[in-house]
């Protein structure tokens, strides 16, 4: 079983905005063990955050392994201005995309629907529209 210290140590390997860390820890610990293990032991997986700016572009880091690009989850730092259930749903939703490699669970399933469904299964359902904050 993965504990808080192990997840926090793993998160320390990414240069993340401090206010996002407790949310990332909570979501990582809420994932099924096999999903958490897969993400934490993928040397090509990257977690990244950025401060959005209307006139500046953002470079997204990727790790290459064996000539193939890895998976990245990118979060806006402004996410921390939203309600906690929304923050954690977004994180779980993005981790679901990484787990599914931006595909659905079946050939015909929409990737967005699949990510929402997995996030909900993992205990992080999409809040109602009014619960997103402003």
Where are the domains positioned within the chain? 4-132
**Is residue 134 predicted with pLDDT exceeding 60?**
no
Residue 74: name the closest of 53, 100, 93 by CA.
93
**Is residue 20 predicted with pLDDT exceeding 80?**
yes
- Its pTM surpasses 0.85: yes
- In this prediction, residue 102 carries a pLDDT of 87
Separation CA 103–CA 133 (nearest Å): 28
Q: Are 131 and 67 in contact (CB under 8 A)?
A: no
Please write the tens of the pLDDT for every residue from 39-66: 999 999 999 998 876 666 666 666 656 6
Q: Are 64 and 70 in contact (CB under 8 A)?
A: yes
**Is residue 36 predicted with pLDDT exceeding 80?**
yes
Strand partners, 74: 48
Pairing of strands 46-50, 64-65: unpaired
Separation CA 64–CA 58 (nearest Å): 19
The mean pLDDT of 98-105, rounded to a whole number, is 91
Cα separation of the two ends of the chain: 37
């Amino acid at each position: 079983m993965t504990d808080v210290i192990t997840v926090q140590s793993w998160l320390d390997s990414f240069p993340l905005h401090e206010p996002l860390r407790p949310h990332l820890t909570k979501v990582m610990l809420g994932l099924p063990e096999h999903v958490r293990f897969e993400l934490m032991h993928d040397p090509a997986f990257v977690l990244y955050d950025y401060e959005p700016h209307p006139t500046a572009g953002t470079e997204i880091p990727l790790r290459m392994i064996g000539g193939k690009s890895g998976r990245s989850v990118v979060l806006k730092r402004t996410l921390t201005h939203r309600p906690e259930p929304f923050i954690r749903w977004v994180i779980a939703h993005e981790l679901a995309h990484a787990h599914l490699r931006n595909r659905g669970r079946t050939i015909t399933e929409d990737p967005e629907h699949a990510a929402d469904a997995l996030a909900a299964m993992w205990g992080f359902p999409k809040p109602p529209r009014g619960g997103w904050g402003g």
